[in-house]
Structure 1
Amino acid sequence: MSREPNYEFQEWWNKQREKNHDFFTNDSNNANKGFLTVEIRSLNPDLTTEKDRSRSARQLSWICLLRFQQLANSLAWITNSFLLLLRTANRRISAADSPCDSSASRLYRIIKFFLVLVVLLLCVELVAYFKGWHFSPPSAASAEAAVELFYALWLEIRADYLAPPLQSLANVCIVLFLIQSMDRVLLMLGCLWIKIRRIKPTASMEYPMGRVETGNVDDYPMVLVQIPMCNEKEVYQQSIAAVCILDWPKERMLVQVLDDSDELDAQNLIQAEVQKWHQKGVHILYRHRLIRSGYKAGNLKSAMSCDYIKNYEFVAIFDADFQPAPDFLKKTIPHFKGNDDLALVQARWAFVNKDENLLTRLQNINLSFHFEVEQQVNGVFINFFGFNGTAGVWRIKALEDCGGWLERTTVEDMDIAVRAHLCGWKFVYLNDVKCYCELPESYEAYKKQQYRWHSGPMQLFRLCFLDILHSKGRSVNVCSPFNKQDLE
């Protein structure tokens, strides 16, 4: 139902239209006569423009103040960081790690002297820069002031005595860089060749997977499994359990838990864990040294001096944070069959916490290159690589032939690998056999690990240098682990 037209509103609208004719104008030139044009005039047209301009200037001033504050904060942060670095360097230089070691303290004094000398020379360079002596260097004959004479003499010493040896060192560094780059290129090409040809070590026999029958154990050699540890309260249960459930006849395997803990509660916990597995029928022994000399090398050396070691043919070594798979021995021991000159079978490390944070991801990339490229290529082409200290199986005869574990260096794994190779023994690396472990998740733990891994290779190189020179065809092979600063 339509609404009736409102005649009263129409009459009122017509009257208002006649009264306000100046505001409502009809555009006669417009083709559409049904529309009205309303013209709205501004009383002050430049007011909005000036307002916008003043607002833009205010915003610009705030932006400048904000940038200045950010710059001041950056300068303050840089200054505080520099002062903190200087305090740390001064504390490290003034306080040596071992005060009783005279050679170390002498080295720190030398470093401190050169640090002071460098700062003084930097001050002289700054004075020369502001004086303009860089553009017109003064000579000793024309020097007037004492500072100018000192700078002239410094220029002569720097040009005649310092520049030639520094240039020679730079050339040596360039040569070493080219050698390292060529080594990396060859490793990458070797890894590519292995991938294309699908080259991998093959064993002459295989053990059946699954539980071994008690009466059929003659084909299984006697294996000694060693777990060196020291104050390992967090991971001792997992490592001992992983070794005790290895798929190997119990009467053909003995587990040695080599505890070097100096904390009484840690000793009690580890000993209780060993006793628990012993009651389950596992042949496992707990060993604790009263005199903890030689660290890990001394611990392993002491364990190998037992009388019952002569009954065993192979020894597998696992650090306290490593957990081998149950079929670890069945995948590694067969490679010794028919290879009487084989001393070591090394497995690959796999990391359970590789995605924990950025530090663990970077470590995983670095160590994956080490195992996937370096260890695999060296194992395939030259049958030698650096022993990683764990997750490997040694032939006990090879250990005895090369002199056993020595306490002369902190990199006992590289030491025994070099000596075994110099004696003519060969190594095999299995990239498809993995042993799980954990990566350091904090920077402090990572720094300690890297210091332990890299503090001994050069010392070992000096100790083995003459033996390497006297070896006929193995000199280049033995230098490979030192070139890469191999792992522990």
Structure 2
Amino acid sequence: MALPSFNWWGKGSHKGTPVVVTMENPNWSMVELEAPSESDFQTSTVTQEKARGKNAKQLTWVLLLKAHRAAGCLTSVASTLFSLGSTIRRRVISGQTDNNDSTPSTENKTVKTRFYNCIKAFLWLSLLLLGFEIAAYFKGWHFGAPKLQLQYIFTAPFGVRDLFDGLYTRWVLIRVGYLAPPLQFLANVCIILFIVQSLDRLVLCLGCFWIRFKKIKPIPKQDAIVDLEENGFFPMVLVQIPMCNEKEVYQQSIAAVCNLDWPKSKILIQVLDDSDEPTTQLLIREEVHKWQQDGARIVYRHRVIRDGYKAGNLKSGMSYSYVKEYEFVAIFDADFQPAPDFLKRTIPHFKDNEDVGLVQARWSFVNKDENLLTRLQNVNLSFHFEVEQQVNGVFINFFGFNGTAGVWRIKALEESGGWLERTTVEDMDIAVRAHLHGWKFVFLNDVECQCELPESYEAYRKQQHRWHSGPMQLFRLCLPDIIRAKISMWKKFNMIFLFFLLRKLILPFYSFTLFCIILP
């Protein structure tokens, strides 16, 4: 029995159900195929010419489909590259607009310029020497120990080698005799510091694992929760929002603080505005007035003389006579938005714990998935809160105050000397002095306060400069007080070696030495 002949492929008449394949690209022609009819399945002898015509049309149709798919891929690649270029351009533009940073700059412009010039000169020198190395590699220069003698270099006939060869030979001698020993010494020092820091991180991670395994968590006393929920006992709380030219985020922060779930008669909100722009001052003042009309107890304070930056701003807010009526003070930066139950989850930890001076909450980031920079910052800061702050808070009741999203007992601030303007790290300063006076700190890893991460490198650089420019100055000022303090030797060792030297000096030192000196 002969195979059925599908003559419907090459027929000129239109029979059966048509199947139309339409190309998305209008430059392609339409190919029309017809479904077979009943007569097409009748057995007959297939001629060689019709078979060839059918195969040719099938091949043409397949090639058209593959060409259409390839054209679609090229179009998608082009659109993807265009979108990527637009994103890069937008990131660059957003990074250039970060010069309008609201935080006052404490950088010395002359020192900054000289420092950057030194870095540029060092990088150019590194590139030049790298060029020498590449040229020597391709020319096959391999200097043995006898050829590196000073006598050989200066007595060899100079005409044998050209100027480039002579310069490279002298560079190899200088590198072996003068650069290699100190670089090797620095490399060994970095290895030792890396091992020390790794051990510190290992101990912290083991402590965090133990906290998770044992489910250790600061829990307020039951009667403190009962006083809030049933007896209605709410202590007086002062809330401070220090800001400076924060015209982008002031509305969100003021709204979040005014919506805190706390009796209106037991809370007072201070908006401490250090803005030097009249337009920004007017906008913030109008926002405060709007919330006053809604019944919130909120006041606007503006300093004409901005001494001490944030420390001076907070100090001026504590200088008013009505502050004596309040027992606690909560501090939120202008880009932080606390949850409505923030005070109800932090204030109870002070109940019947008269030695607790600070309750610190964790930060959460609303833009942590914005780009690669924010993701890396999220990893770094998550380790800081999840591991460092939590472990130190559980085992030694001391950690650095993060400057915001925390509640202080006003008595602890006053006994520790209040806010001082001697450094740019006023939050670390007050935490160290409070700990030396015997106050304990509580870190709540499950209480979060939302904020934003810097999305451009320029904003990130300025933030890191503010955070890392003052710890060593503070260490120099606090070292005599730490030695004379009436605390245990273990706490003194922890504060001097672990808190200051290891985490504030050794880590930046070996990172800078490794990536900016040894590797180049």
Q: TM-score if structure 2 supplies the norm length?
A: 0.66
The aligned residue for residue 43 of structure 1 is none
Indicate conservation of the 8 Å contact 1:385/1:480, yes or no: no
From 163, 170, 188, give the equivalent of 2:187. 170
- Supply the distance in 2 between the matched residues of 1:433 and 1:98 (Cα, whole angstroms): 32
The aligned residue for residue 151 of structure 2 is 141
TM superposition shift of 1:277: 2.0
From 203, 209, 220, give the equivalent of 1:186. 203
Distance 1:104 1:435, change over 3 A: closer
- Supply the distance in 1 between the matched residues of 2:251 and 2:228 (Cα, whole angstroms): 24
Indicate conservation of the 8 Å contact 1:350/1:435, yes or no: yes
Indicate conservation of the 8 Å contact 1:469/1:475, yes or no: yes
Indicate conservation of the 8 Å contact 2:228/2:234, yes or no: no
- Pair 1:421-2:435 in alignment: yes
Which one is further off, 397-406 or 145-154?
Answer: 145-154
- Supply the distance in 2 between the matched residues of 1:237 and 1:101 (Cα, whole angstroms): 33
Local SS of the residue matching 1:207 = helix
- Pair 1:203-2:237 in alignment: no
Alignment of 1:14-163 (within 5 A): 103-108=111-116, 110-111=118-119, 114=122, 118=126, 134-136=142-144, 137-142=147-152, 143-145=156-158, 155=172, 157-163=174-180
One-letter amino acid matched to 2:269:
V
- Supply the distance in 2 between the matched residues of 1:229 and 1:376 (Cα, whole angstroms): 28
- Supply the distance in 1 between the matched residues of 2:473 and 2:226 (Cα, whole angstroms): 45
RMSD value over aligned CA atoms?
Answer: 3.7
Local SS of the residue matching 1:474 = helix
Local SS of the residue matching 2:151 = coil
- Pair 1:346-2:360 in alignment: yes
Distance 1:139 1:195, change over 3 A: same
Alignment of 1:357-436 (within 5 A): 357-436=371-450
The aligned residue for residue 281 of structure 1 is 295
Distance 1:466 1:380, change over 3 A: same
Indicate conservation of the 8 Å contact 1:222/1:314, yes or no: yes
Indicate conservation of the 8 Å contact 1:229/1:260, yes or no: yes
TM superposition shift of 1:380: 0.4
TM superposition shift of 1:398: 1.7
One-letter amino acid matched to 1:282:
A
- Pair 1:316-2:324 in alignment: no
Distance 1:372 1:291, change over 3 A: same
- Supply the distance in 2 between the matched residues of 1:335 and 1:313 (Cα, whole angstroms): 14
Indicate conservation of the 8 Å contact 2:363/2:448, yes or no: yes
- Supply the distance in 2 between the matched residues of 1:357 and 1:209 (Cα, whole angstroms): 45
Distance 1:272 1:398, change over 3 A: same
Alignment of 1:319-330 (within 5 A): 319-330=333-344
TM superposition shift of 1:122: 5.2
TM superposition shift of 1:432: 1.4
Local SS of the residue matching 1:387 = coil
TM superposition shift of 1:300: 1.0
What does the per-residue CA deviation read over 1:239-284, in whole Å, with 9 as the maximum and x for residues that have no partner? 1122122222222221100111122222112111212222333221
From 317, 336, 359, give the equivalent of 2:350. 336
Local SS of the residue matching 1:461 = helix
TM superposition shift of 1:115: 5.1
TM superposition shift of 1:367: 2.3
Local SS of the residue matching 2:453 = coil
- Pair 1:451-2:468 in alignment: no
One-letter amino acid matched to 2:225:
Y
Indicate conservation of the 8 Å contact 1:384/1:477, yes or no: no
Distance 1:480 1:396, change over 3 A: farther
TM superposition shift of 1:358: 4.3
The aligned residue for residue 269 of structure 1 is 283
What number of residue pairs does the alignment pair up? Answer: 397
TM superposition shift of 1:324: 1.4
- Supply the distance in 1 between the matched residues of 2:376 and 2:186 (Cα, whole angstroms): 31
Which one is further off, 415-424 or 132-141?
Answer: 132-141
- Supply the distance in 2 between the matched residues of 1:469 and 1:153 (Cα, whole angstroms): 52
- Supply the distance in 2 between the matched residues of 1:369 and 1:267 (Cα, whole angstroms): 37
- Supply the distance in 2 between the matched residues of 1:461 and 1:281 (Cα, whole angstroms): 45
What does the per-residue CA deviation read over 1:37-76, in whole Å, with 9 as the maximum and x for residues that have no partner? 99x9xxxxxxxxxxxxxxxxxxxxxxxxxxxxxxxxxxxx
Indicate conservation of the 8 Å contact 1:138/1:148, yes or no: no
Indicate conservation of the 8 Å contact 2:238/2:329, yes or no: yes
- Pair 1:250-2:264 in alignment: yes
One-letter amino acid matched to 2:416:
C
Local SS of the residue matching 2:490 = coil
The aligned residue for residue 68 of structure 1 is none
Distance 1:360 1:104, change over 3 A: closer
Which of the two has higher C-alpha Rg? 1
What does the per-residue CA deviation read over 1:418-469, in whole Å, with 9 as the maximum and x for residues that have no partner? 2222332211001111212223344443343333333333443344344445
Distance 1:211 1:352, change over 3 A: farther
Indicate conservation of the 8 Å contact 1:382/1:477, yes or no: no
What does the per-residue CA deviation read over 1:277-321, in whole Å, with 9 as the maximum and x for residues that have no partner? 223332211001112232222211221222222222211001112
The aligned residue for residue 40 of structure 2 is none
Distance 1:402 1:395, change over 3 A: same
TM superposition shift of 1:131: 6.9
Consecutive unaligned residues in structure 2, runs of 5 or more: 1-44, 49-104, 506-520
- Pair 1:305-2:315 in alignment: no
- Supply the distance in 1 between the matched residues of 2:115 and 2:256 (Cα, whole angstroms): 45
One-letter amino acid matched to 1:425:
W
Local SS of the residue matching 1:473 = helix
TM superposition shift of 1:111: 4.4
- Supply the distance in 2 between the matched residues of 1:279 and 1:319 (Cα, whole angstroms): 23
TM superposition shift of 1:322: 1.4
Distance 1:99 1:201, change over 3 A: closer
Distance 1:153 1:469, change over 3 A: farther
Distance 1:159 1:226, change over 3 A: same
Indicate conservation of the 8 Å contact 1:139/1:149, yes or no: no
Distance 1:265 1:318, change over 3 A: same
- Supply the distance in 1 between the matched residues of 2:106 and 2:290 (Cα, whole angstroms): 41
What does the per-residue CA deviation read over 1:10-52, in whole Å, with 9 as the maximum and x for residues that have no partner? xxxxxxxxxxxxxxxxxxxxxxxxxxx99x9xxxxxxxxxxxx
- Supply the distance in 2 between the matched residues of 1:281 and 1:157 (Cα, whole angstroms): 76
Q: TM-score if structure 1 supplies the norm length?
A: 0.70
